[in-house]
């Protein structure tokens, strides 16, 4: 007491669910009278609230780690497809509260065609990450079962999502990269997701806005469509989630414009360098969402 100058003190333990994690100490240096019963009750209440806040913070961080680990383990190794290059990356949200359901997938189907997927389950919590896992696995299963157009695969998936125990909604682009006339073509359908971006070798950029329909899980049964575009040598297709274009500080159109401008500027870069520099230049500084990016290139 002589060192601190405190003449009277009140100490209350900070209790967690399973253990004491600290203590609150209040001291008086100028007044000599002891703390009253009301003072001690107030100190105990402060300590109780502090313990509750610490427990919630620990639980919150544990949930964030579980969700992020789930996402990272579900994101696949990209397959090797002769005549094509692929790169992908996932960047978690900077804010723990925004752990979500963004994912990408790429696989070779039974007929040798490459399937590409980018998707986003609505929500930003562990439930969204769990829903993402289910939707991702069901889509891969349906795509590999029968050689069907992307629209029919997503129609099957939409019906399956409606039967899930927990209500789930998701946006998805599913595409097939097919041989055509000695080259390649992209056949895709879009369930409410931001449109893929096609960039030619000369820098011309085009958003693939055709074949757009409702997101999965709405309960509405509307016909889905397919669209096809040829992929010339040297062309690049970008599949991305909305965290790359949305920001509180600018309109969505501004994000899309920035996306296409930077993609055109970097099109001459090797694909690995392209992905790193593209993310660094396009992702909004005030973005609070996670980002998934899948890039396909037909070598020149």
Query: Which residue bears the tokens 């030619």?
Result: 200
Structure tokens at 51: 């313990």
Give residue 142's pLDDT: 92
The CATH superfamily assigned to 75-297 is PPM-type phosphatase domain (3.60.40.10)
Q: What's the token pair of residue 266?
A: 């970097």
What one-character DSSP code corresponds to residue 78?
P
Q: Are strands 114-121 and 205-207 parallel, antiparallel or unpaired?
A: unpaired
pTM confidence score: 0.77
Percent of the chain with pLDDT over 70: 90
Beta strands 170-180 and 114-121 are: antiparallel
Percentage, residues of the chain above pLDDT 90: 47
Least confident stretch, 70-79, 120-129, 256-265, 272-281: 70-79
Mean predicted confidence (pLDDT) in 30-50 = 84
Phi, psi angle pair for 195, to nearest 5°: -70, 140
Residue 13 binned pLDDT confidence (cut-offs 50, 70, 90): confident
Structure tokens at 206: 């085009």
Three-state secondary structure readout of 182-208: CEEEEEEEEECCCCCEEECCCCCEEEC
pLDDT at 290 over 60: yes
- Domain locations in the chain as residue ranges: 8-65, 75-297
**pLDDT, tens digit, 9 for 90 and up, residues 127-158:** 777 788 889 889 999 998 778 999 999 999 99
């Amino acid at each position: 007491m002589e060192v601190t100058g405190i003449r009277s003190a009140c100490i209350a333990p900070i209790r967690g669910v399973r253990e004491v994690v600290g203590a609150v100490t209040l001291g008086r240096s100028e007044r000599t009278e002891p703390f009253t019963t009301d003072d001690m009750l107030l100190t105990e209440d402060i300590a109780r609230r502090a313990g509750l806040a610490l427990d919630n913070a620990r639980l919150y961080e544990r949930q964030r780690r579980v969700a992020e680990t789930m996402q990272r383990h579900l994101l696949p190794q990209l397959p090797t497809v002769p005549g094509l290059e692929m790169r992908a990356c996932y960047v978690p949200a900077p804010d723990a509260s925004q752990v979500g359901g963004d994912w990408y997938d790429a696989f070779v189907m039974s007929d040798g065609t490459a399937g590409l997927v980018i998707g986003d389950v609505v929500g930003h919590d562990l439930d969204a990450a769990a829903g993402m896992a289910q939707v991702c696995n069901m889509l891969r299963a349906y795509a590999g079962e029968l050689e069907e157009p992307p629209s029919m695969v997503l129609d099957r998936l939409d019906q399956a999502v409606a039967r899930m125990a927990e209500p789930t909604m998701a946006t998805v682009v599913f595409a097939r990269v097919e041989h055509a006339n000695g080259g390649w073509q992209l056949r895709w359908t879009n369930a409410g997701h931001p449109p893929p971006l096609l960039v030619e070798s000369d820098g011309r950029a085009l958003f693939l806005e055709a074949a757009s329909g409702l997101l999965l899980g709405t309960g509405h049964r509307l016909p889905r469509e397919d669209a096809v575009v040829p992929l010339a040598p040297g062309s690049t297709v970008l599949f991305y989630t909305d965290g790359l274009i949305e920001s509180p500080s600018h309109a969505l159109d501004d994000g899309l414009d920035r996306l296409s401008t930077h993609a055109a500027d970097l099109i001459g870069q090797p694909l690995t360098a392209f992905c790193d520099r593209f993310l660094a230049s396009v992702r909004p500084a005030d973005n609070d969402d996670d980002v998934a990016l899948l890039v396909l290139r037909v070598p020149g």
